[in-house]
């Protein structure tokens, strides 16, 4: 069986992929992601997932490489990773009391076999109405700068989350159902 490589630095993706029981290594793609907030989020995450998978696959041609990218989408705009605490605060204020969609794109590549698969997932998340005290408490408890939308549903959800619909693992950053599907198509899972 060909080795599996995760083309992501995300510790959450690493944990989720490990839950499938597969051995894999992590190689972080050295790419500049497309993050124009006006781009259709499905297109953006598919592009970025492919960019990461392709970069790593070019350097590890015998491996099967999984790339993934996630963003938060609200009112026609993507909310990517905040640049600083001020931007994280602004994102939480925008999400307060509203429903948004979390999109993840997946790309699977293997240069040696010509494998090229893609998939994606969308899930809805509804925030509780947040006042400034709750926003500050959340920011004091959670490192938000490496998370699209400035939050992680797995980190103190009781403070910010009212409900979600769809794949929870997608909201965290790797939709396990879709990931299993493309890994099965590639022959890595049965």
Q: Which of 36, 58, 69, 131 is catalytic?
A: 69
Residue 108 has phi, psi (to 5 degrees) of -125, 125
Per the CB < 8 A criterion, the answer to whether 155 and 139 are in contact is no
Q: SS3 of 70, please?
A: strand
> How much of the chain is helix, strand and coil, in % rounded to 5?
35, 25, 35
Catalytic-residue membership of 69: yes
Strands (E), the chain: 4-6, 25-26, 64-74, 77-79, 99-110, 115-127, 161-165
Indicate which residues carry an active-site annotation: 69
């Amino acid at each position: 069986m060909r080795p599996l490589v995760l083309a992501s630095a995300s510790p959450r993706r690493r944990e989720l992929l490990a839950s499938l029981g597969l051995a894999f290594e992590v190689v972080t793609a050295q790419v500049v992601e497309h993050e124009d907030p006006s781009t259709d989020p499905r297109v953006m995450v598919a592009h970025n997932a492919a960019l990461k998978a392709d970069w790593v696959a070019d350097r590890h041609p015998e491996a099967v490489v999984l790339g993934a990218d996630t963003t938060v989408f609200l009112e026609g705009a993507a909310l990517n990773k905040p640049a600083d605490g001020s931007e994280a605060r602004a994102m939480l204020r925008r999400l307060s009391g509203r429903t948004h969609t979390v999109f993840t794109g997946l790309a699977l590549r293997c240069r040696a076999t010509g494998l090229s698969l893609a998939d994606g997932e969308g899930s809805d998340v509804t925030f509780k109405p947040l006042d400034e005290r709750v926003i500050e408490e959340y920011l004091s408890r959670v490192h938000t700068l490496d998370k699209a939308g400035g939050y992680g549903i797995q980190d103190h959800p009781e403070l910010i989350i009212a409900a979600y619909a769809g794949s929870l693992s997608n909201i965290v950053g790797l939709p396990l159902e879709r990931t299993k599907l493309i890994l099965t198509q590639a022959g890595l899972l049965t």
